[in-house]
Structure 1
Amino acid sequence: MASDLHHYPFNPKERHMPNKRFRSVALTAVVVLLLALGLAACGGGDDDNAEDATTTTTEAPEATTTTAEAFEPDDGGDDESAIEGDDQRAAIEDFMNSVQQDTGVEDTGEAYTYVSISDDTGQLTVDAPAEWSDVDGRVASLGTLTLPDVRASTDLEAYNNTFDVPGFQFTATSDSSTGDPRAVLNEYTVRFSQACNPEDVQSYSDPLYTGVSQVFGDCGSSGAAFVWTAVQPIDTSDGDYIAVVGVQILSDADIEALGHILDTFVVTPAG
């Protein structure tokens, strides 16, 4: 079972969750070269599809997937999914900019690569930094209830007990007694006020999810930041649930990781 330490929530747990598909739209770059000679012209182009090659694992993942430039607008294609993907990335970029202003973390010039990881039940999938290779996908427990949970860090023991290393955790529940993202957020963040300086709770929204987020600054002796986000799907035709993402931030690269995680997490029902 995952450790019940300073990053561990004590909200109601879930066994089975409805599905809500949340995937990024791959970016396509088209380069057209025009050559003019007299009154004749001709053109040619190449499509370069950069597709993630990911590995789902709860052990140390290999850094064989996408680079950290996760939110460049797509200038090509006008299909509905591409437009939705652009809107999704734009909304997350706005959120990342807000987090940057609240945390004031330094830009170290570091850039992560990403791999796909999942929890042990297979209900949660997300792209996380390959450098956060200490991964735990075991189910968390509270009383008789269980909660799908996946977390990763450079050092999970340090992540669970201190604010000295970057890392994240991702979980989801449909067993919340209120169905209110803010109430669930409060259950996760109440302990952080003792070790960090809390910012005000802010609304969060993108084309697929709506909810709330809260930034905690000056955490522990390292002065790290921690960002909690609790959201639920706008379209609940496949069912309703609340997803919670928490990211510990020590550098600008960790804010990029936050955006990438929010852009790629998927909740799938138990089989």
Structure 2
Amino acid sequence: MRRRLPILPLLVLLFLLPGGCLSGAQPENNAPGENGGTTNEEQSSNAVTSLENVEDATLYIEARGGEADMGRQFGEISFGSGSGFIISEDGLAVTNNHVVAGSGFLQVYIAGEDEPVDATVLGTSECSDLAVIKLNAGGLPYLEWREGEISSTLEVYTAGFPADDVEGEEIPDYTTTRGSVNSTEASGETAFASVDSVIEHDAVIRPGSSGGPLVDSEGRVVGINYAARIDSNGNPTPPYFAIGRDEAQGILSQLENGDVDSIGISGEAFVNEEVGFSGIVVTSVETGSPASNAGIEGFDPNGGTVDIITELEGTRLAEDGTKSVYCSVLRQRGDDAPMKIRVERYQLDANGNPTGEFQVLEGELNSDRELEVVEEFGGTGGSDTSGGSTEITDDSGAIMVEVPSSWSDVNGSPAAILDGLPEGPALAASPDLNGLFETFETPGVAIYASAEAVQTYTPDTLLDNFDFSSSCELDGSRESYDDGLYVGVSEVWTNCGGVSSQELISIAATPEDGSFIIYTFIQTTGPEDVEAAQRVIETFTVDGGAL
């Protein structure tokens, strides 16, 4: 119901993926073999033709510098890793966008070689989570696409370099696992990519296999492994997912010539339905990209900031927890078109936790209008929770609640909240009660309880008497309320008095036996008050015997 700080940890899905490019596809005069592979005897001698030789064209990729250097101390080893595979003998290769995004440089290892080769990123796609890179080498073995039908029950193998069990700079072992295709039309809408449909299979993939190929029994590429479901312990679990051949081929040929469906970020969709907040969390930004030129910043956990893109071209993003809307805007508008953008930038402490301070910025991509601060919150006027919480009660001892110690202006005198109702136990707390009741710029809480009022009002009819529509905007609609002790209804009002960071929570509820009725009013003025509001909801109680 309330808006919590939408910060970290956010990356809850396992990333994995790549694909081949049309330059590595089989010539048209090749006929499908028994397993869907090609049988042309005149094919290039460098094309892999067996499962046993897939390793020769599969790459181990280390993304160093850039984002991987954040928080690294002098002399420490820090890098991200993933897999990829070669699609042409002159060194074109494919991996995931998330493997290479935000890196300062790549170290790519070819099978049988102890030293890495240099590689250049030719193009990336945020929405397809694909990247094409060019190795500084030639005469290389490469993988070709499977031809013919890809159907459920097809035997498939994952290939890659899972790095979840290695330490330091040790190069992980090449690994293959066997399984079969379960579906060729699984949904491809996720928090980190937007693909029409993907292949679902049960060949195990592990962290570090990002970018590795899914191949058939002849070593032909069926798809590009890119995701797995995650269990409660954070471990990958079946089913596993790969971007299919037909989805990948078209975009990979474009990526040889530059970015596609990209503004130059690595990011993940995020949604908190409880508090009604969503967006694209930016983890890194490519230098010289539209995002960089507009002033979007990458995630800096060491006392820096994190940017969340909440709107693109006036459209709210990630309300369903996926990149679908974000990518639809990019694909329809074109990633080089001017687009309005709205960003919320949250300040973090040295441990990567939000401090409560944040800015709202607006600007345009692909134009001269860089991001500018339009609103700024936190630091002053909000709730200081660093001093802990305090338990307070009204004068009769009937109402109890925990509030921040900074809400030191407390009134526990009886009150009548509506004409025709008798005075009843009431409790209010705020840094400044006058500010709480006279403005929309001061946080605080007020609670009223009455055994007599329940004879006249239900939670719905009581809440009807607290209509803030003349000054506020109702966020959504009236909702059912149940905190385990009391049940009733609640409303959240926003933008009261034009204060965009403000929210007002209005609750009317009764205990299960209906012996009394409670009205609770909570006002927040920014993210720094969210914890305080949640604590109020979790702790307020009324002793019905004292009413």
* TM bracket (short chain): 0.5 to 0.7
- AA in 2 matched with 1:270: A
- Matched with 1:41 is none
Offset of residue 254 of structure 1 = 1.9
Say if 2:377 is the partner of 1:101: no
* More relative contact order, 1 or 2 (CA 8 Å, 6+ apart): 1
Q: 1:173 to 1:129 in 2, by over 3 A?
A: same
Gaps of 5+ in 2: 1-271, 279-309, 311-343, 347-353, 357-383
- AA in 2 matched with 1:181: P
- Matched with 1:251 is 526
- Residues 58-77 of structure 1: pairs in structure 2 closer than 5 A: none
Structure 1 contact 99–255 (Cα < 8 Å) conserved = no
- AA in 2 matched with 1:227: I
Structure 2 contact 483–538 (Cα < 8 Å) conserved = no
Task: Give the Cα–Cα distance (whole angstroms) in 1 for the partners of residues 472 and 458 of structure 2.
Answer: 24
Task: Give the Cα–Cα distance (whole angstroms) in 1 for the partners of residues 460 and 399 of structure 2.
Answer: 21
Aligned length, in residue pairs: 170
Q: 1:182 to 1:143 in 2, by over 3 A?
A: closer
Structure 2 contact 506–521 (Cα < 8 Å) conserved = yes
Structure 2 contact 483–537 (Cα < 8 Å) conserved = no
- Matched with 1:151 is 428
Task: Give the Cα–Cα distance (whole angstroms) in 2 for the partners of residues 145 and 206 of structure 1.
Answer: 26
Q: 1:208 to 1:217 in 2, by over 3 A?
A: same
Q: 1:106 to 1:116 in 2, by over 3 A?
A: farther
Q: 1:97 to 1:242 in 2, by over 3 A?
A: farther
Structure 1 contact 152–169 (Cα < 8 Å) conserved = yes
- Matched with 1:118 is 393
Task: Give the Cα–Cα distance (whole angstroms) in 2 for the partners of residues 159 and 181 of structure 1.
Answer: 23
Task: Give the Cα–Cα distance (whole angstroms) in 1 for the partners of residues 391 and 505 of structure 2.
Answer: 21
Instruction: Note the aligned Cα RMSD (angstroms).
Output: 2.6
Structure 1 contact 106–251 (Cα < 8 Å) conserved = no
Q: 1:167 to 1:106 in 2, by over 3 A?
A: farther
What TM-score, normalized by structure 2, do the two folds share?
0.29
Q: 1:168 to 1:109 in 2, by over 3 A?
A: same
Task: Give the Cα–Cα distance (whole angstroms) in 2 for the partners of residues 228 and 136 of structure 1.
Answer: 19
Q: Which has the higher helix share?
A: 1
Match of 2:503 among 225, 237, 255: 225
| Identity across the alignment (%) | 31
Match of 1:162 among 432, 439, 443: 439
Higher alpha-carbon Rg: 2
- Spell out, residue by residue over 1:133-165, the C-alpha distance to the aligned partner (whole angstroms, 9 max, x if none): 111111113568212111111111111100011
Structure 2 contact 428–447 (Cα < 8 Å) conserved = yes
Task: Give the Cα–Cα distance (whole angstroms) in 1 for the partners of residues 403 and 541 of structure 2.
Answer: 12
Offset of residue 253 of structure 1 = 3.2
Look up the SS of the partner of 1:256 in the other structure.
Answer: helix
- Spell out, residue by residue over 1:207-251, the C-alpha distance to the aligned partner (whole angstroms, 9 max, x if none): 3221111010100142311011112122x2xx6212221111112
- AA in 2 matched with 1:231: A
- Matched with 2:294 is none
- Residues 13-24 of structure 1: pairs in structure 2 closer than 5 A: none
- Spell out, residue by residue over 1:55-97, the C-alpha distance to the aligned partner (whole angstroms, 9 max, x if none): xxxxxxxxxxxxxxxxxxxxxxxxxxxxxxxxxxxxxxxxx95
- Matched with 1:134 is 409
Look up the SS of the partner of 1:204 in the other structure.
Answer: strand
Task: Give the Cα–Cα distance (whole angstroms) in 1 for the partners of residues 488 and 452 of structure 2.
Answer: 17
Task: Give the Cα–Cα distance (whole angstroms) in 2 for the partners of residues 175 and 193 of structure 1.
Answer: 28
Q: Which has the higher strand share?
A: 2
Structure 1 contact 100–255 (Cα < 8 Å) conserved = no
- Matched with 1:172 is 449
Look up the SS of the partner of 1:120 in the other structure.
Answer: coil
Task: Give the Cα–Cα distance (whole angstroms) in 2 for the partners of residues 262 and 119 of structure 1.
Answer: 17
Offset of residue 101 of structure 1 = 3.1
Task: Give the Cα–Cα distance (whole angstroms) in 2 for the partners of residues 201 and 231 of structure 1.
Answer: 13
- Matched with 2:464 is 186
Say if 2:390 is the partner of 1:214: no
- AA in 2 matched with 1:109: T
Offset of residue 106 of structure 1 = 8.3
- AA in 2 matched with 1:131: S
Look up the SS of the partner of 2:528 in the other structure.
Answer: helix
Offset of residue 178 of structure 1 = 4.0
- Matched with 2:474 is 198
- Matched with 2:103 is none
Task: Give the Cα–Cα distance (whole angstroms) in 2 for the partners of residues 106 and 166 of structure 1.
Answer: 22
Question: For structure 1, which segment, 122-131 or 248-257, has the greater mean C-alpha deviation from structure 2 after superposition?
Answer: 248-257
